[in-house]
Structure formats: C-alpha cells, structure tokens
Amino acid sequence: MAKAGVVDPEQLDREARELFRQLTPASVAGRDQHDRAVTVAPAERLVEITRRARFIAVSDTLARAVVALLGRQGITAEIGHVQVDPAAEGDEQVMGLLVDLHGARAVVPVRPGSTRLRAYPETGDIDLAGSEPLLVLALSDNAVEQDGWVTADSIGTVLVEHLSASAQPAGKSLAETA
C-alpha cells in the first residue's frame, strides 16, 4: 500500500490513459413512455464541450505523472495552467509543465497522444500564439501505443535529456531508473 502523499506516476499514467479512452461522451440508453428501448445521442455542442473538458483532465493527470517521474531524476518541474500550443494538432487547452530550460523558465504544453513536445518561454497567457518554441522534441513513432496513448514515461524520458545535465543511463526509461 502506498504512503499518504506519495505520488505514483504509473498509477497516474493509467488513470490518464483511461480518461483518454473516454474523451467523447457516449449515447444514453433508456426506455420511453411505452417501455421501448431508445438511445439518445448527446448534442454535437455537448460532445465538443465534454471532449475539451476531458482533454484538460487527461492532460492534468498526465502532467502530474511526468512531474513525478522528473522528480525521481532530481529535475524540478511543476504544473502551470492551461495553455494552447499553436503548433499542435488541435486547439485544445492542455496543462503546461513549468521547467528550467538552460537557465530560463519555460512552459511545455502536455498534449495527450502527441509525439511532439515544444518548450516556449514561460507566460501567463493561455494562447502561446506569437511565441516561437525554444525547443522542439520529437518522440519516436513507436512511443505511440495502439490506442494512441503516449505514456508519461516516454514523455519524461525525452524531457530529462534536455532538462538535466546529469547522465541518464543509456537506453533506460525513467521508470526503469527509479
């Protein structure tokens, strides 16, 4: 049993992945006044609002897992606020990691399922449009699992190489070095 207050990044990653699988609300099944089975699909607007809210929740949980994994390596990172990465595949708001990049504060939006990480100068703005990335990192194509998920370990492993001067054992993931 885990101690109170101890963050389990692997558990957070599993929770985020499960939320990722449920981004779109399902139809509701029920019975009408004549006891016939009916299925009601959610309204298009509700689907979009729900998907965007869930995307933030997935991103938050995933970001907390990455922060915990980086902490295991002695790298200080924290959760910022929601941000929109202008170079991302979509315009959803996602949580940003606040990190030290070459002596300057930077924000790294954590977009679930993405194989690109971009570090931007830290800002209080939600939309990062107009900011050029300080660093662009590409995760390998095999980092994407069958369901489209990219694990916190994959994200953290790529980040640790750029956020720390300390040597990471070659070929090891963050989870394997803990």
Cβ neighbors of 84 (< 8 A, separation 6 or more) are: 91, 92, 93, 94, 109, 126, 127, 128, 129
Q: What is the CA radius of gyration of the chain?
A: 18
Q: What is the biggest distance separating any 2 CA atoms in the chain, rounded to whole angstroms?
A: 69
Question: Which pLDDT score is estimated for 150?
Answer: 96
In order, the DSSP letters of 59-114 are: HHHHHHHHHHHHHHTT--EEEEEEEB-TTSSS---EEEEEEEETTEEEEEE--TT-
Distance CA 71, CA 61 (A): 15
Quote the tokens at residue 168.
């990471």
Question: Which pLDDT score is estimated for 166?
Answer: 37
CA atoms within 13 A on the CB side of 103: 0
Distance CA 112, CA 60 (A): 10
Residue matched to tokens 């609300």? 25
Question: Which pLDDT score is estimated for 168?
Answer: 40
Question: Which pLDDT score is estimated for 141?
Answer: 83
Domain spans, the chain: 10-19+34-177
Distance CA 116, CA 176 (A): 23
Q: What is the pTM of this model?
A: 0.84
Distance CA 112, CA 16 (A): 9
The residue type found at 101 is L
CB burial of 18-37 (b: ≥16 within 10 Å; e: otherwise) equals ebbeebeeeeeeeeeeeeee
Question: Which pLDDT score is estimated for 169?
Answer: 42
Mean pLDDT by 10 residues, the chain (178 residues): 68 96 91 93 94 96 96 92 93 94 92 95 92 92 91 94 55 52
Q: What angle do CA 160, 139, 111 make, to 5 degrees?
A: 85
Quote the tokens at residue 135.
């660093």
